[in-house]
């Protein structure tokens, strides 16, 4: 009996030891798991992530109207009275330049063309290139005189060469403004010389600046040139930011008594290009200081990302009753977004594909939607287009697929 009792004790002790070990391992595992969760929570609460979300209010400028936007995404970062119609002064010459660039691109004029100088152009007051009546000046020199020296005489000479006279050129300017979507702009001359109802807005000027940069990148380089010499007279570019900020490469200054001091600028840092429009400041130095406030704010607190390239395939959904079982869906244009720094990972991307895509599939037709949102706000919405055609399958395959779809529909299956 004693032997059996001891034997029983020995036999029963093994599972007890094993159970104790299991409990010990379980406790250790729970402790490690809780420690890991606490570590994750600590990392999520890291001050680094919190800092990335802090952002001050936009700067308030001593100006009548202003706007700041990203050229690539079109995102408006700051705006104030952006739709107030104001006299643009020599900012008008941005439109004159845009039309000249357009004519050059069409081939209807050449940079080497010799432009005759009229009495009207020669007599223009204000800022001048100092061209002489009765002479002919190469068009490329007139462009530099208008853009770098802000020459009113050069602007009139270019307008007359393209349209016959300045009034006809003003009609072309307004037509071009309409095409660009500058809906609150009405121009009466090529220079910005004070005239009744010669008005535009900060928003419209930002549209024009963006078009100048995007449509004519080679010609746009003229705006970064700091000085130009013509007829042995050297004049400096009136945009003082070209000397004070190496990232600034344009665009145009303006000043009249009615307009105040105005400046449209563009700068590029780390592949991010911003355009600012500041209208109605009290001095030439003031327009530069207020512009710097806008540019500094935009570059410091925002960042532009290309999320998807044009033509990039984002999904390949099932095609029913088709010769091919799938079709690639892609974007027609790249998606570029400007968001607060550190918020790219917070963007939510949703792809919605049409239910039960059935052949034939047409290339270029939309079969889905891509949505990008942040904090519940939809930032961009794009159609997803078929990259190729999908022809119908054989009769038997089509019947079989339609039968499957019929059954799925009855059963409520996706």
| Residue from 93, 144, 252, 293 carrying the catalytic annotation | 93
Residue 53 pLDDT class (50, 70, 90 cuts): low
* pLDDT over threshold 50, residue 326: yes
Q: Indicate the angle between helix axes 166-180 and 202-215, nearest 10 degrees.
A: 90
Instruction: Write the pLDDT tens digit of every residue in 222-268.
Output: 999 999 999 999 999 999 999 999 999 999 999 999 999 999 999 99
Q: Tell me, what's the pLDDT at 406?
A: 83
| Residue from 73, 118, 127, 150 carrying the catalytic annotation | 150
Q: Determine the Cα–Cα distance for residues 279 and 291; give it in Å rounded to an integer.
A: 10
Inter-residue contact 386 to 361 (CB < 8 Å): yes
Burial group, residue 228, by CB count within 10 angstroms (0-12, 13-18, 19+) = buried
Least confident residue range of 117-121, 258-262, 374-378: 374-378
Least confident residue range of 5-9, 117-121, 403-407: 5-9
Name the residue with higher pLDDT: 25 or 3. 25
Residue 282 catalytic? no
Q: Determine the Cα–Cα distance for residues 253 and 146; give it in Å rounded to an integer.
A: 11
Mean pLDDT of 362-385: 95
Q: Determine the Cα–Cα distance for residues 52 and 50; give it in Å rounded to an integer.
A: 5
Q: Determine the Cα–Cα distance for residues 306 and 49; give it in Å rounded to an integer.
A: 22
Q: Is 53 left (phi over 0), alpha (psi -120 to 50) or beta?
A: alpha
Q: Is 269 left (phi over 0), alpha (psi -120 to 50) or beta?
A: beta
Mean pLDDT of 167-171: 98
Q: Determine the Cα–Cα distance for residues 409 and 341; give it in Å rounded to an integer.
A: 46
Instruction: Write the pLDDT tens digit of every residue in 302-322.
Output: 999 999 999 999 999 999 999
Residues 6+ apart with CB under 8 A from 78: 58, 59, 66, 67, 68, 294, 297, 298
Domains of the chain (ranges; CATH) run 65-303 (3.40.710.10), 309-411 (2.60.410.10)
Q: How many helices (H) and strands (E) does the chain have?
A: 12, 18
Residues 6+ apart with CB under 8 A from 15: none
Q: Tell me, what's the pLDDT at 41?
A: 46
* pLDDT over threshold 50, residue 39: no
Q: Is the dihedral of CA 213, 216, 221, 222 positive or negative?
A: negative
CA distances from 134 to 137, 142, 404 (A): 10, 15, 83
Angle at 99 between CA 98 and CA 105, to 5 degrees: 90
* pLDDT over threshold 70, residue 63: yes
Coil vs helix vs strand at 63:
coil
Q: Which two tokens stand for residue 8?
A: 């029983």
Residue 266 catalytic? no
* pLDDT over threshold 50, residue 11: no
Instruction: Write the pLDDT tens digit of every residue in 259-284.
Output: 999 999 999 999 999 999 999 999 99
Four-CA torsion 357, 362, 363, 369, nearest 10 degrees: -40
Alpha helix (H) ranges present in 114-186? 119-123, 139-147, 152-163, 166-180
| Per-chain mean pLDDT for the chain | 89
Q: Tell me, what's the pLDDT at 67?
A: 98
Instruction: Write the pLDDT tens digit of every residue in 342-355.
Output: 999 999 999 999 99
The residue written with tokens 């949102």 in the block is 373
Beta bridge partners of 377: 374
Q: Determine the Cα–Cα distance for residues 262 and 282; give it in Å rounded to an integer.
A: 9
The residue written with tokens 């001095």 in the block is 283
Q: Determine the Cα–Cα distance for residues 67 and 165; give it in Å rounded to an integer.
A: 33
Least confident residue range of 101-105, 194-198, 296-300, 375-379: 375-379
Q: Determine the Cα–Cα distance for residues 346 and 78; give it in Å rounded to an integer.
A: 22
Residue 118 catalytic? no
DSSP string over 70-104 = ETTT--EEEEESTT--B--GGGGHHHHHHHHHHHH
């Amino acid at each position: 009996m004693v032997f059996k009792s001891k034997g029983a004790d020995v036999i029963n002790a093994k599972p007890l030891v094993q159970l104790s070990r299991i409990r010990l391992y379980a406790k250790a595992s729970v402790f490690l798991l809780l420690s890991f969760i606490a570590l994750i929570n600590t990392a999520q609460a890291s001050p680094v992530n919190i800092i990335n979300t802090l952002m001050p209010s936009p700067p308030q400028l001593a100006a009548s109207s202003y706007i700041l936007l990203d050229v690539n995404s079109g995102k408006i970062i700051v705006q104030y009275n952006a739709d107030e119609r104001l006299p643009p002064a020599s900012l008008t010459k941005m439109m004159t330049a845009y039309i000249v660039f357009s004519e050059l691109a069409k081939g209807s004029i050449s940079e080497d063309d010799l432009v005759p100088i009229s009495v009207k152009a020669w007599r223009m007051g204000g800022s001048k290139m100092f061209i002489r009546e009765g002479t002919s000046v190469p068009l490329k020199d007139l462009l530099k005189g208008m853009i770098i020296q802000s020459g009113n005489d050069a602007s009139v000479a270019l307008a007359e060469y393209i349209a016959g006279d300045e009034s006809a050129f003003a009609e072309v300017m307004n037509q071009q403004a309409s095409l660009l979507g500058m809906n609150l702009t009405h121009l009466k001359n090529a220079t910005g010389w004070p005239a009744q109802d010669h008005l535009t807005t900060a928003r419209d000027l930002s549209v024009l600046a963006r078009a100048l940069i995007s449509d004519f990148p080679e010609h746009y380089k003229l705006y970064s040139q700091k000085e130009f010499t013509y007829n042995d007279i050297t004049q400096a570019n009136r945009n003082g930011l070209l000397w004070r900020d190496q990232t600034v490469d344009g665009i145009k200054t303006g000043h009249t008594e009615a307009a105040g001091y105005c400046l449209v600028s563009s700068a590029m840092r780390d592949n991010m290009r911003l355009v600012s429009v500041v209208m109605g400041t009290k001095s030439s130095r003031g327009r530069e200081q207020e512009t710097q406030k806008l540019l500094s704010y935009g570059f410091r607190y925002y960042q532009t990302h290309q999320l998807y390239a044009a033509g990039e395939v984002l999904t390949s959904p099932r095609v029913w009753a088709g010769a091919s079982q799938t079709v690639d869906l892609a974007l027609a244009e790249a998606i570029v977004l400007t968001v607060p720094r550190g918020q790219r990972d917070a963007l939510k991307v949703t792809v919605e594909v049409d239910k039960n895509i059935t052949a034939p599939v047409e290339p270029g037709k939309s079969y889905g939607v891509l949505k990008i949102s942040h904090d519940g706000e939809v930032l961009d919405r794009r159609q997803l287009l078929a990259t190729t055609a999908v022809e119908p399958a054989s009769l038997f395959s089509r019947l079989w697929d339609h039968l499957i779809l019929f059954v799925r529909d009855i059963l409520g299956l996706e």
